[in-house]
């Protein structure tokens, strides 16, 4: 991401205010008066040159009445813009690092920054920047400010459905179910080699795969590719295969090597080679080993039962169309000794967010 002359969160918010003011048929002079602001200050806010003070939040909600702005969302966004300002002012702070810090504050903010990620890669003030600002970022700003529940809540829907199903269970069955669940929590599920292969091939409904690996060979070794051939890539509902590797190797060359080796394995077992559509779903990013900017986030992803697995080298997680997130950590001392442990549902959700923060922040 490139640094910009202006706080991009302020730029998006200002452009949004200008659009909504025009929709109301208001002049900037009249709107400034309604917000108890000087005319020049209000114009600078619309231009993204200064922050809107949070003490004007209620006035914005009241006077942009057709925009259905939620006070809590607006307050959250104004705070985020000021946090970004602070992060950018730090010595040698870069925009991608500052945005990552803001993303960690809240799930809504992380989702908004991910949805508007392309804008932060474009030089401020260019035609491409203006086009993306108007057609993507401002539209997303409206969704953020206008919805108390902004992040797609497939996960929440899943939990609500699960809760309702529990409430519908005959009460006589609840004690044994409760003790069964407790017993399951006490014994983490090991996810090893052929067992993992069979589970991936038989489970339907995968929509995304995320993964971070400290060792490239965990994915592209012959041993791994003989087991895992990623059949879900051909499913229409499966849309994203995102992997991050800690390596100095070129990510394009790494992806090409992976595809070439996978196709060789597929040929041997008479599976079709990856199509162009399937290849487009695959995205690799790399982080040079010597970089420390993501060290804390990577550590969070790879945390696990150190008493069981002394070295954790990998994190991966499947998004499921039910709304569930199914996460794992593991690794291997040798490719033939692959091991993994299944994360809890709550932990899977948290680590998915951490992964998305890293993914968005990588240049």
Please give the structure tokens belonging to residue 142. 């409206």
Say whether pLDDT at 187 is over 70: no
Q: How far apart are CA 194 and CA 177, in angstroms?
A: 29
Question: How much is the pLDDT for 171?
Answer: 74
Mean pLDDT of the chain: 86
Architecture of domain 188-361: 2-Layer Sandwich (3.30)
Residue 53 half-sphere exposure toward CB, CA atoms < 13 A: 8
Q: How confident is the model at residue 9 (pLDDT cuts 50, 70, 90)?
A: very high
What pLDDT is stored for residue 3 in this prediction?
44
Domain positions in the chain are 8-145, 154-187, 188-361
Residue 200 or residue 310, greater confidence: 200
Given a contact cutoff of 8 angstroms between Cβ atoms, the answer to whether 119 and 8 are in contact is: yes
Q: Edge-to-edge strand order for the sheet containing 325-331? A: 282-287, 240-246, 206-213, 314-320, 325-331, 339-342
Higher pLDDT, 286 or 324: 286
* Threshold 0.75, pTM exceeds: no
Compare 204 and 154 and report the one with higher pLDDT. Answer: 204
- Cα Rg of the chain, angstroms: 24
| Mean pLDDT, residues 292-321 | 82
**Residue 11 confidence class, pLDDT cut points 50, 70, 90:** very high
pLDDT value at position 337?
Answer: 57
What is the pLDDT at residue 159? 67
**Residue-level pLDDT at 41:** 96
Q: Tell me what the mean pLDDT of segment 284-301 comes to.
A: 85
**Can you tell me the mean pLDDT for 69-78?**
95
DSSP letter for each residue of 29-51 = HHHHHHTT--HHHHHHHHTTSSP
pLDDT in tens, 337-359: 567 888 888 889 889 989 998 99
The pLDDT of residue 342: 86
pLDDT at 335 over 70: no
Of 1-10, 111-120, 268-277, the range with the lowest mean pLDDT is: 1-10
What is the per-residue DSSP string for 194-248? HHHHHHHHH---EEEEEEEES-THHHHSHHHHHH---GGGGSTT--EEEEEEESS
> 282-287 and 314-320: which strand pairing?
unpaired
pLDDT above 70: percentage of residues in the chain: 88
pLDDT at 150 over 70: yes
pLDDT at 154 over 70: no
Task: State the pLDDT at residue 310.
Answer: 59
pLDDT computed for residue 186 by the predictor: 55
For position 190, what pLDDT does the model report?
61
pLDDT band at 1 (very low <50, low <70, confident <90, very high): very low
pLDDT-derived band at 168 (thresholds 50, 70, 90) equals confident
């Amino acid at each position: 991401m490139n640094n910009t002359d202006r706080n991009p969160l302020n730029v998006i918010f200002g452009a949004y205010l200008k659009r909504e003011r025009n929709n109301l048929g208001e002049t900037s002079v009249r709107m400034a008066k309604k917000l108890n602001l000087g005319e020049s200050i209000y114009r600078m806010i619309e231009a993204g040159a200064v922050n809107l003070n949070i003490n004007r939040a209620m006035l914005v909600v009241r006077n942009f009445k057709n925009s259905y702005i939620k006070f809590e969302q607006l307050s959250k966004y104004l705070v985020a813009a000021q946090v970004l300002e602070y992060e950018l002012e730090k010595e040698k702070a870069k925009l991608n690092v500052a945005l990552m810090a803001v993303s960690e504050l809240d799930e809504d903010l992380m989702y908004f920054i991910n949805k508007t990620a392309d804008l932060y890669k474009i030089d401020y003030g260019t035609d491409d920047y203006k086009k993306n600002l108007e057609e993507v970022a401002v539209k997303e700003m409206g969704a953020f400010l206008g919805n108390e529940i902004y992040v797609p809540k497939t996960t929440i829907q899943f939990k609500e459905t699960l809760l309702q199903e529990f409430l519908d269970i005959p009460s006589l069955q609840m004690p044994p179910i409760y003790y069964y669940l407790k017993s399951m929590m006490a014994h983490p599920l090991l996810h090893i080699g052929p067992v993992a292969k069979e589970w991936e091939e038989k489970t339907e409904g995968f929509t995304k795969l995320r993964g971070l690996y400290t060792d490239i060979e965990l994915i592209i070794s012959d041993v791994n590719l003989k087991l895992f051939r990623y059949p879900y890539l051909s499913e229409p509902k499966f849309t994203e295969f995102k992997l991050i590797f800690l390596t100095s190797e070129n990510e394009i060359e790494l992806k090409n090597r992976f595809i070439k080796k996978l196709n060789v394995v597929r040929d041997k077992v008479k599976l079709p080679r990856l199509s162009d559509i399937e290849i487009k779903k695959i995205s690799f990013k790399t982080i040079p080993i010597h970089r420390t900017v993501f060290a804390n986030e990577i550590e969070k992803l790879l945390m696990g039962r150190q008493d069981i697995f002394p070295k954790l080298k990998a994190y991966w997680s499947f998004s499921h169309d039910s709304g569930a997130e199914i996460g794992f950590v593991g690794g291997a001392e040798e490719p033939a000794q692959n091991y993994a442990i299944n994360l809890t549902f709550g932990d899977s959700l948290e680590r998915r967010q951490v992964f998305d923060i890293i993914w968005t922040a990588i240049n």
